[in-house]
Amino acid sequence: MLQGVERLVDLTGPRLTCTEGVSADEIVRAVQEADTITLERVDGHFAAVARQGQTVRMARTIGFPLRYFVAKMFHGPFLIVGERIDQLFEWCCTRKIGWQFDPLYTRMVPAHYVVELDQIGCPDPAPRYRRFFHPAISTGSADVAEAGAAYIQASYRALKQWMASIPAHEPIAVAFSGGIDSTAILVLARKAAQELGTDPGRIRAFTLDLGGGADVAQAEDVVRSLGLQDQWEAVRVPEERYRPEDAIRVIEDYHPLDVECAAASLCLLEGIRERYPSLRYLVDGDGGDENLKSYPLEDSDLTISSVLRNPLLYQEGWGVDAIKHSLTYSGGLSRSYVRTYAPARHFGFEAFSPFTVRSVIEAALAIPFEAVIQGSVDKLYALKGEVVRAGVESVAGVRMPSNPKRRFQDGMGGDRYRRWRVSKAWCRSVFLRQWDERLREVWGPNAERISGNAVPA
């Protein structure tokens, strides 16, 4: 292996938001030194990469994706780090080693871990994981009103901190279905704007309508009940714009529910962008279902026991040591938040959800779920509405309406949604076909390629 060659390529640099009082350099230094104590104390979102000798360390929270690929150049390993698979591929192509690339050999850094890789040659060693998020579980009150106040107060602090970092004249879009989470976000964002001394009218809610969906009627009822109908728009988009194939290309994933959600997000954000070309900031309620375990168990192989006995299941999946942990992807919202992040980036938005911040997740995990629901699935399904309503009333003094849970992609299309449902096998085949088309260009007979053993002159 050639000595003195820098073998770490960081295509993104450090990224952070809502990390009050901590600089990017301090985050990088903590990652470099595997200082998990400092990283745990830093709230908000960050992603960073650093080297210490032959060891490269990477870390991120849910809000920023981070992915890596090991290529071979100059008789040794090159570690390329970026936020997207195609970003890693394009770098390899510029070095004429795109023929080495396979999207399934890329790795997603799991949220809430420092990932360590030693660059010592072939074979590439397995990564090591150091956790930096250790939330206390079930230490809070079983009283719904008290639990709601703690959870929404934490959410409000995170949202207000994010809004304080935005220029006061900038408008903020709310992805709004009229459901529990998006209604809470709308109310809290307006309160934060007032407390920050800015115009609450800069907060504007947008609801996607692909024809016949229930969300538009629901959203209109909610904003009328709140007296905010002048701050709301229905974004009506022709249904032919709903294209799961485009969503797969944008999120670079094939989990069907995330594909469907991202396809709907692309429709909504494209509609907003057409109306407001300069609008930059977007806030939504992604993560609210995960925090309060509000997913229908009938849609999966999960049981109430597996959900309650694995407190971070919805945020992190089964964990990095589990047999079900994906090598190419992470688990839970750590993986699926790309459904929010990537469509927003695609249309030039900076997206944020306070429900994904660790202090907010910790406030949710403090709820003693087993004691509250006492084994009842019905009580679990009702809990999120009770907690959020109580919290919003406590924090914002607003009695918000509460509507039944409905998936984003379900509410925007009504009966048409049944025709749009896609299987995992179909999504995976589309994902692989899209990559097959790209890889043909670097494997074809006319492709220019170099050996990993080639040494620059």
- Cβ atoms within 10 Å, residue 455: 10
In this model, does residue 158 exceed pLDDT 80? yes
Residue 134 · residue 41 · CB < 8 Å: no
Question: Using CB atoms within 10 A of its CB, is residue 456 exposed (0-12), middle (13-18) or buried (19+)?
Answer: exposed
- Cβ atoms within 10 Å, residue 327: 10
Label residue 417 by pLDDT band (50, 70, 90).
low
pTM of the model: 0.94
pLDDT tens per residue across span 371-408: 999 989 999 999 999 999 999 999 999 999 987 765 55
Label residue 409 by pLDDT band (50, 70, 90).
low
24-33: average pLDDT:
98
Residue 85 · residue 103 · CB < 8 Å: yes
More confident residue, 414 or 160: 160
Fold of domain 144-431: Rossmann fold (3.40.50)
pLDDT at 80: 97
pLDDT tens per residue across span 218-227: 999 999 999 9
34-46: average pLDDT:
97
19-34: average pLDDT:
96
Label residue 418 by pLDDT band (50, 70, 90).
low
221-236: average pLDDT:
96
Give the residue among 105, 345, 248, 446 at the shortest CA–CA distance from 92. 105
β-strand partners of 82: 67
In this model, does residue 175 exceed pLDDT 90? yes
Long-range contacts, 390-393 (Cβ 8 Å, 24+): 390/144, 390/145, 390/147, 390/148, 390/149, 391/147, 391/148, 391/149, 391/150, 391/151, 391/152, 391/153, 391/155, 391/184, 392/148, 392/152, 392/184, 392/187, 392/188
Residue 6 DSSP label: -
Give the residue among 203, 243, 358, 352 at the shortest CA–CA distance from 290. 358
Q: Where are the domains of the chain?
A: 8-133, 144-431
What is the token pair recorded at 56?
A: 């490269």
In this model, does residue 415 exceed pLDDT 60? no
CA 98 vs CA 9, 94, 102, 122, 339: distances in Å: 15, 8, 9, 19, 26
CA 88 vs CA 103, 227, 232: distances in Å: 9, 48, 39
pLDDT tens per residue across span 47-64: 999 999 999 999 999 999
* Torsion sign over Cα 261, 11, 26, 125: positive
pLDDT at 5: 67
